[in-house]
Chain A
Amino acid sequence: MKEKILRRSDIGRLIDSVGTKGGAFVAPALVARQVVFKAIKSADEVSFDYILARNSYKEFVFPQTEVVADFTFTGNKVDLRGREVEARDTVVFGARPCEATSLSALRAVFTWDFVDEFYTKREDTLVVMTVGCTKADEACFCTTVELSPESKSGSDIYLRETETGDYTVEALTDRGKAFVELHAGCFEEGDAKLKPLVRPEVIKGIDLGKIQSRLAQRENYADPVWGELTRKCIGCGACTYVCPTCHCFDITDEGTAFEAERRKNWDSCQYESFTLHASGHNPRDFQFKRWRNRFMCKFTYYPNKFSSKGCVGCGRCVRVCPVRLDITEAMEELSK
């Protein structure tokens, strides 16, 4: 049967088409010797030779910093005005199946008791075009967390590269279908010879079940292994900032004596001051406790609370870590 195909040569038209309809087109592009997700204007900005973009596309639904309210001081009263988020139709091209699944995790957090429109409104207008992986590196471990290049959850449109460098297009969600409709002119029907997908090897010795149950046991909380595993962690927030599922943020006011704005900024559980109490007491006073928190966040808290995936195995944290602290090495250790 004939398949829907997006020619690489047509991507330019797709970008224009999206642009003319007032949308933003986000795709992997080369910035400072790195491939990152970036809102782009033309096809020649797009880079196709990458495994994963350095950053997760979460920053287009959950910006690193955004103003949520403004206030001005007059007399003794403060006049505070909330900001309306005006979400712009955004399509993310070239996401990977692993990271696509992260959106459910994020949505869970931003909606479970209070609906954070700054997130939801953006996500509602987001179209994720996933491209199945034809490449992987030693840091990839999606298969180990029961995902794979075929995983489609979270994607609105699933693409696969063909031998000719074009893409077969599979619209999965209504939003995806609508998108393909809207920009029908950019797609065409045809046959395609698919490039084989590349699936990272499952890391032997890692057993999620074991990890789950081990973490479930209170006494293991104080297991000295944490200390040994993560002694080298220097406590920067790099891993959390590139992680597609990390979502912690901090509300802070910035301004002058006359006016100010309230900002929602990314925060990281790896920071010393993350859980620092006003008293000066810090329940996570050692780095390994902070790291343990992130780990359990991924493998216990969120799975249990939202039955959503905490870790999608994209391996970004491994690649970015200045001291090469590899989460899978911890997983392996904790599977024992």
Chain B
Amino acid sequence: MSGHEEQSGTTGGYEPKIMAFVCNWCTYAGADLAGTSRMEYRPNVRIIKLPCTGRIDPLFIIKAFENGADGVLVSGCHPGDCHYTTGNYHARRRWIGFKHLMEFTGIDMRRLHFSWVSASEAIKWVDLINNVTDEIKKLGPFMEYRGLKDAPPQAAE
């Protein structure tokens, strides 16, 4: 079992599973900075490091939800600051499309967050994680999605 259930066991009460896809140069470094500056934030997020937000395929996000994520966070360099000059502009386009699609499908947008966090914005990172965690904690586990697999096909209901 993954840590979150276990964690819920320890802290008592429910602990949301949150997956973060971040770029290597800005947000990951920003998260590191939060560490080196000994800031503190909620322990629920699990980071997956990618070179650039431009590498992030919407399927990652879908897969994260399929794997029981209660919330997903995507973050990278501010527009104009991309280490690869334009990667995050491409990302922004895709997100605009994808966000509307998810919204239209009825995914609760409080479970899917997009953000720009630069290498120096440790504080922003901390606030972001805390806010996202608290918000999702309020919402509770993403049962609608987790439940999907075991729901019987309609014909056999």
**A64 adjacent to B153 (CB under 8 Å):** yes
**A36 adjacent to B155 (CB under 8 Å):** yes
**A38 adjacent to B2 (CB under 8 Å):** no
**B155 adjacent to A65 (CB under 8 Å):** no
Which residues 135-157 of B have a CB within 8 angstroms of A? 153-157
**B1 adjacent to A258 (CB under 8 Å):** yes
**A39 adjacent to B157 (CB under 8 Å):** yes
Check A278 for interface membership: any CB of B closer than 8 A.
no
Check A31 for interface membership: any CB of B closer than 8 A.
yes
Q: How many A residues, CB 8 Å from partner? A: 13
Report how far A141 CA is from B2 CA in the complex, Å: 56
Check B8 for interface membership: any CB of A closer than 8 A.
no
Would you give the shortest CB distance from B1 to chain A, in whole angstroms? 6
Would you give the shortest CB distance from A305 to chain B, in whole angstroms? 30
Which residues 36-82 of B have a CB within 8 angstroms of A? 67
Would you give the shortest CB distance from B48 to chain A, in whole angstroms? 14
The residues of B that contact A37 with a CB separation of less than 8 Å are: 155
Would you give the shortest CB distance from B5 to chain A, in whole angstroms? 11
Report how far A219 CA is from B154 CA in the complex, Å: 46
Report how far A38 CA is from B155 CA in the complex, Å: 5
The number of A-B residue pairs with CB atoms under 8 Å apart is 22
Check A288 for interface membership: any CB of B closer than 8 A.
no
Closest chain B residue, CB of each to CB of A39? B156
The residues of B that contact A256 with a CB separation of less than 8 Å are: 2, 67
**A60 adjacent to B67 (CB under 8 Å):** no
Check A63 for interface membership: any CB of B closer than 8 A.
yes
The answer, among B2, B67, B155, for a CB contact under 8 Å with A55, is B155
Would you give the shortest CB distance from B147 to chain A, in whole angstroms? 15
Which residues 25-67 of A have a CB within 8 angstroms of B? 31, 36-39, 55, 59-60, 63-65
Which residues 90-121 of B have a CB within 8 angstroms of A? none
Closest chain B residue, CB of each to CB of A254? B149
Closest chain A residue, CB of each to CB of B2? A258
**A63 adjacent to B156 (CB under 8 Å):** yes
The residues of A that contact B157 with a CB separation of less than 8 Å are: 38-39
Closest chain B residue, CB of each to CB of A36? B155
**B67 adjacent to A39 (CB under 8 Å):** no
A-B contact pairs, 20 of them (CB 8 A): A31-B154, A36-B155, A37-B155, A38-B154, A38-B155, A38-B157, A39-B155, A39-B156, A55-B155, A59-B153, A59-B155, A59-B156, A60-B156, A63-B153, A63-B156, A64-B153, A65-B153, A256-B2, A256-B67, A258-B2
